[in-house]
Protein backbone atom coordinates (compact mmCIF):
# COMPACT_ATOMS: atom_id res chain seq x y z
CA UNK A 1 0.00 0.00 0.00
CA UNK A 2 1.37 3.45 -0.93
CA UNK A 3 2.24 5.77 1.91
CA UNK A 4 -0.18 8.68 2.14
CA UNK A 5 1.32 12.14 1.71
CA UNK A 6 2.29 14.03 4.85
CA UNK A 7 0.17 17.02 5.78
CA UNK A 8 2.12 20.24 6.22
CA UNK A 9 1.49 22.14 9.46
CA UNK A 10 -0.12 25.52 8.82
CA UNK A 11 2.25 28.47 8.71
CA UNK A 12 2.30 32.07 7.64
CA UNK A 13 5.19 34.32 6.65
CA UNK A 14 5.68 37.80 5.21
CA UNK A 15 6.11 38.07 1.46
CA UNK A 16 6.65 40.67 -1.21
CA UNK A 17 3.84 42.95 -2.29
CA UNK A 18 3.02 43.72 1.35
CA UNK A 19 1.26 40.38 1.66
CA UNK A 20 1.37 37.50 4.11
CA UNK A 21 1.69 33.95 2.82
CA UNK A 22 -0.81 31.55 4.40
CA UNK A 23 -0.52 27.91 3.42
CA UNK A 24 -4.21 27.16 3.79
CA UNK A 25 -7.02 28.86 1.94
CA UNK A 26 -4.97 29.24 -1.25
CA UNK A 27 -7.08 28.90 -4.39
CA UNK A 28 -4.37 27.07 -6.32
CA UNK A 29 -4.59 23.35 -7.00
CA UNK A 30 -0.88 23.13 -6.14
CA UNK A 31 1.55 25.36 -4.29
CA UNK A 32 5.18 25.13 -5.43
CA UNK A 33 7.58 26.36 -2.73
CA UNK A 34 11.19 26.64 -3.82
CA UNK A 35 13.74 27.32 -1.11
CA UNK A 36 16.95 29.00 -2.25
CA UNK A 37 20.06 30.21 -0.41
CA UNK A 38 20.32 33.93 -1.25
CA UNK A 39 18.98 36.71 -3.45
CA UNK A 40 21.25 37.99 -6.25
CA UNK A 41 23.59 34.99 -6.33
CA UNK A 42 24.24 33.17 -9.63
CA UNK A 43 22.43 29.88 -8.93
CA UNK A 44 19.47 31.54 -7.24
CA UNK A 45 19.14 34.06 -10.07
CA UNK A 46 19.24 31.28 -12.69
CA UNK A 47 16.66 29.20 -10.79
CA UNK A 48 14.31 32.16 -10.28
CA UNK A 49 14.52 33.10 -13.97
CA UNK A 50 13.71 29.49 -14.94
CA UNK A 51 10.60 29.57 -12.72
CA UNK A 52 9.69 32.99 -14.20
CA UNK A 53 9.99 31.69 -17.76
CA UNK A 54 7.82 28.64 -16.98
CA UNK A 55 5.29 30.58 -14.91
CA UNK A 56 2.52 30.52 -17.58
CA UNK A 57 2.82 26.72 -17.77
CA UNK A 58 2.55 26.43 -13.98
CA UNK A 59 -0.51 28.72 -14.05
CA UNK A 60 -2.14 26.52 -16.73
CA UNK A 61 -1.67 23.51 -14.42
CA UNK A 62 -3.31 25.30 -11.47
CA UNK A 63 -0.03 25.81 -9.62
CA UNK A 64 1.22 28.92 -7.85
CA UNK A 65 4.96 29.44 -7.33
CA UNK A 66 6.60 31.02 -4.29
CA UNK A 67 10.33 31.47 -3.71
CA UNK A 68 11.58 31.44 -0.13
CA UNK A 69 14.88 32.40 1.48
CA UNK A 70 16.17 34.01 4.67
CA UNK A 71 16.65 37.37 2.91
CA UNK A 72 14.77 40.47 4.09
CA UNK A 73 11.62 41.71 2.40
CA UNK A 74 13.59 44.69 1.09
CA UNK A 75 16.13 42.38 -0.55
CA UNK A 76 13.29 40.25 -1.94
CA UNK A 77 11.47 43.29 -3.38
CA UNK A 78 14.67 44.39 -5.16
CA UNK A 79 15.42 40.86 -6.43
CA UNK A 80 11.84 40.42 -7.65
CA UNK A 81 11.86 43.78 -9.47
CA UNK A 82 15.32 43.22 -10.98
CA UNK A 83 14.29 39.84 -12.45
CA UNK A 84 10.69 40.78 -13.26
CA UNK A 85 9.34 37.85 -11.27
CA UNK A 86 5.55 37.40 -11.67
CA UNK A 87 5.26 35.55 -8.34
CA UNK A 88 5.90 36.53 -4.73
CA UNK A 89 8.96 35.81 -2.59
CA UNK A 90 8.59 34.76 1.05
CA UNK A 91 10.97 36.14 3.69
CA UNK A 92 12.03 33.79 6.50
CA UNK A 93 14.81 35.61 8.40
CA UNK A 94 14.13 33.71 11.64
CA UNK A 95 14.29 30.37 9.74
CA UNK A 96 10.93 29.17 11.10
CA UNK A 97 9.67 27.90 7.73
CA UNK A 98 13.14 26.65 6.74
CA UNK A 99 13.23 24.65 9.98
CA UNK A 100 9.72 23.27 9.42
CA UNK A 101 10.81 21.97 5.99
CA UNK A 102 14.22 20.84 7.31
CA UNK A 103 16.23 22.73 4.67
CA UNK A 104 18.87 24.27 6.97
CA UNK A 105 22.10 22.33 6.41
CA UNK A 106 25.83 22.61 6.96
CA UNK A 107 27.48 23.32 3.62
CA UNK A 108 31.01 23.85 2.36
CA UNK A 109 31.67 27.31 1.01
CA UNK A 110 35.20 28.13 -0.08
CA UNK A 111 36.54 25.41 2.22
CA UNK A 112 34.62 26.61 5.28
CA UNK A 113 31.60 24.98 6.91
CA UNK A 114 28.64 27.34 6.88
CA UNK A 115 25.01 26.85 7.81
CA UNK A 116 22.65 27.68 5.00
CA UNK A 117 19.55 26.82 3.01
CA UNK A 118 19.75 23.62 0.99
CA UNK A 119 18.17 24.34 -2.41
CA UNK A 120 14.89 22.40 -2.26
CA UNK A 121 11.45 22.43 -3.86
CA UNK A 122 8.15 21.18 -2.44
CA UNK A 123 4.79 20.66 -4.13
CA UNK A 124 1.81 20.92 -1.78
CA UNK A 125 -1.74 20.12 -2.89
CA UNK A 126 -4.85 22.18 -2.09
CA UNK A 127 -5.49 20.07 1.05
CA UNK A 128 -2.05 20.97 2.44
CA UNK A 129 -0.47 17.59 1.71
CA UNK A 130 3.13 17.35 0.60
CA UNK A 131 2.91 15.45 -2.69
CA UNK A 132 6.50 15.79 -3.96
CA UNK A 133 9.84 17.09 -2.75
CA UNK A 134 13.25 17.63 -4.28
CA UNK A 135 16.23 18.20 -1.97
CA UNK A 136 19.78 19.18 -2.84
CA UNK A 137 18.46 20.58 -6.13
CA UNK A 138 20.76 21.22 -9.07
CA UNK A 139 19.44 24.24 -10.97
CA UNK A 140 19.79 22.88 -14.53
CA UNK A 141 16.54 21.25 -15.73
CA UNK A 142 14.97 21.39 -12.26
CA UNK A 143 12.01 23.54 -13.28
CA UNK A 144 11.30 21.11 -16.14
CA UNK A 145 11.24 18.23 -13.60
CA UNK A 146 8.71 20.09 -11.45
CA UNK A 147 6.52 20.83 -14.48
CA UNK A 148 6.68 17.20 -15.64
CA UNK A 149 5.62 16.04 -12.19
CA UNK A 150 2.63 18.39 -12.17
CA UNK A 151 1.63 17.32 -15.69
CA UNK A 152 1.61 13.69 -14.49
CA UNK A 153 -0.92 14.41 -11.74
CA UNK A 154 -4.54 13.28 -12.32
User: DSSP assignment of the chain, as one string?
Assistant: -PPPPPBPPP-EEEETTTEEEESTT--SSEEEEEE-S-TTSHHHHHHHHHHHHHHHHHHHTTEEEEEEESS-HHHHHHHHHHHT-SS-EEE-TT-HHHHHTT-EEEEEETTEEEEEEPPEEEEEETTSBEEEEEES--STTHHHHHHHHHHT--
Nearest to 41 by CA among 97, 119, 105: 119
44, 90, 103, 123: the catalytic one is: 44
Whether 44 is catalytic: yes
Catalytic residues: 44
Amino acid sequence: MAESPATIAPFSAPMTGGQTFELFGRPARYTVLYFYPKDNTPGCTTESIAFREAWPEFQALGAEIYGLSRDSLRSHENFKAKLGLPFELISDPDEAVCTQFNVMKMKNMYGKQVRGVERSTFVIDAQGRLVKEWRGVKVNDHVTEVLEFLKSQP
